[in-house]
C-alpha cells in the first residue's frame, strides 16, 4: 500500500532596497504565500514610470485566485501579464515615452509542483542542499552572445551592452513569456531577485548566506550595499518544509 505523500508547507519573505546609487526604487515584489504566488519586477523608464510599471505587474499578479490547478493559475497569470503589457504600451504612447516597462519573474506553487513565468533578466534560483542553480535564462543581449559562443560568461559581465534586455512587459506589442515547471522537495529554497543582487554577489556568496532563518535575505541586501549596490536590489525567498 502506497504511503500518502507528506504535504509541503512554505514560508516566504520579501524585501526591496533602493541601493546605494539610485535615487528612486523602480523594483517591486509580491509575497503572497496565501495564494502560492510570488514575483519580482524591475521597472524601466526612470522618472517616466519604471516604478509604475513594476507595481502594475505585481498588482495584476496579486489578483490571482488562491484555488485552482497549477495550469489554470499559470494561464491566468499569463493573461494578466499580457493585459499589463497592453496597458504599459498605451501609457508610453500617451506620455510620448519610448518605453515604460518592467521585467518579471513569477513563481507559482500547487502541492509539490511549481511553475515559473519570466521575461527579462530578473531571476529564479533554487537552493537544494549546498547547491544553487539558476532556474531561468536571462532575456538579455549578452546572454544571447554567450549562448552563441561569441563571448565568455566573464566577458559578458563587462560588456558595454550588459544592461540591455531583449524582453520585458511593456517593451513590444507581442509579449513572449518563458515557462518552466519544477518538482519541489522538502528543504528546497527558491529565490527570486532583480539584477541588483546577482550583479553584486556571486552564486556561491548567495548560497553561503542563506540558512534556516528566512530573514537571511536581509544579509544579502546588506552585502550588496557593502559592494556599492549600483542598482535597486529586490529579493523574495520561498522555503519548503515537509
CA–CA separation, 234 vs 239, rounded Å?
Answer: 17
Contacts 24+ apart (CB under 8 A), 152-158: 157/199
Residue 48 lies inside a defined structural domain of this protein: yes
Residue 1 lies inside a defined structural domain of this protein: no
Name the residue range of residue 132's domain: 9-138+165-241
What's the number of domains the chain is made of? Answer: 1
Exposed/middle/buried for 83, CB within 10 Å: 0-12, 13-18, 19+? middle
Residue 73 lies inside a defined structural domain of this protein: yes
Residue 152 lies inside a defined structural domain of this protein: no
Residue 143 lies inside a defined structural domain of this protein: no
Q: Measure Cα distances from 155 to 140, 146, 172, 214 in Å.
A: 14, 9, 28, 34
How does pLDDT run across 144-183, given as a tens digit for each residue? Answer: 555 665 555 555 565 455 567 899 999 999 999 999 999 9
Residue 146 lies inside a defined structural domain of this protein: no
How does pLDDT run across 33-83, given as a tens digit for each residue? Answer: 999 999 999 999 776 789 999 999 999 999 999 999 999 999 999 999 999
The CATH number of the domain where 38 resides is what? 3.60.40.10
Residue 159 lies inside a defined structural domain of this protein: no
User: The pTM is what?
Assistant: 0.91
At residue 238, φ and ψ (nearest 5 deg) are -130, 115
CB atoms within 10 A of CB 41: 36
Residue 120 lies inside a defined structural domain of this protein: yes
Rg (CA), the chain: 18
Q: Would you state the cell numbers that stand for residue 182, as one nine-digit string?
A: 519544477
Give pLDDT, residue 156.
Answer: 55
Give pLDDT, residue 152.
Answer: 56
Q: Measure Cα distances from 172 to 141, 167, 237 in Å.
A: 16, 8, 30
Grid-cell match 502560492, residue found: 36
Amino acid at each position: 500500500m502506497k504511503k500518502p505523500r507528506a504535504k509541503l508547507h512554505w514560508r516566504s519573505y520579501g524585501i526591496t532596497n533602493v541601493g546605494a546609487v539610485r535615487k528612486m526604487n523602480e523594483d517591486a515584489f509580491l509575497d503572497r504565500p496565501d495564494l502560492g504566488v510570488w514575483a519580482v519586477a524591475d521597472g524601466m523608464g526612470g522618472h517616466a514610470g519604471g516604478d509604475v510599471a513594476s507595481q502594475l505587474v505585481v498588482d495584476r499578479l496579486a489578483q490571482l485566485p488562491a484555488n485552482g490547478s497549477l495550469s489554470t493559475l499559470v494561464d491566468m497569470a499569463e493573461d494578466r501579464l499580457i493585459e499589463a503589457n497592453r496597458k504599459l504600451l498605451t501609457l508610453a504612447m500617451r506620455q510620448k515615452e519610448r518605453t515604460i516597462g518592467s521585467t518579471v519573474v513569477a513563481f507559482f506553487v500547487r502541492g509539490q509542483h511549481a511553475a515559473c513565468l519570466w521575461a527579462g533578466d530578473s531571476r529564479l534560483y533554487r537552493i537544494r542542499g549546498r547547491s544553487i542553480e539558476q532556474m531561468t535564462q536571462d532575456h538579455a543581449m549578452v546572454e544571447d552572445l554567450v549562448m552563441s559562443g561569441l563571448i565568455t560568461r566573464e566577458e559578458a559581465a563587462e560588456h558595454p551592452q550588459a544592461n540591455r534586455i531583449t524582453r520585458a512587459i511593456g517593451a513590444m506589442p507581442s509579449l513572449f513569456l518563458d515557462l518552466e515547471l519544477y518538482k519541489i522537495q522538502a528543504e528546497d529554497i527558491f529565490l527570486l531577485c532583480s539584477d541588483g543582487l546577482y550583479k553584486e554577489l556571486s552564486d556561491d556568496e548567495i548560497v553561503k548566506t542563506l540558512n534556516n532563518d528566512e530573514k537571511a535575505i536581509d544579509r544579502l541586501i546588506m552585502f550588496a550595499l557593502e559592494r556599492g549596490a549600483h542598482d535597486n536590489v529586490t529579493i523574495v525567498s520561498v522555503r519548503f518544509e515537509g
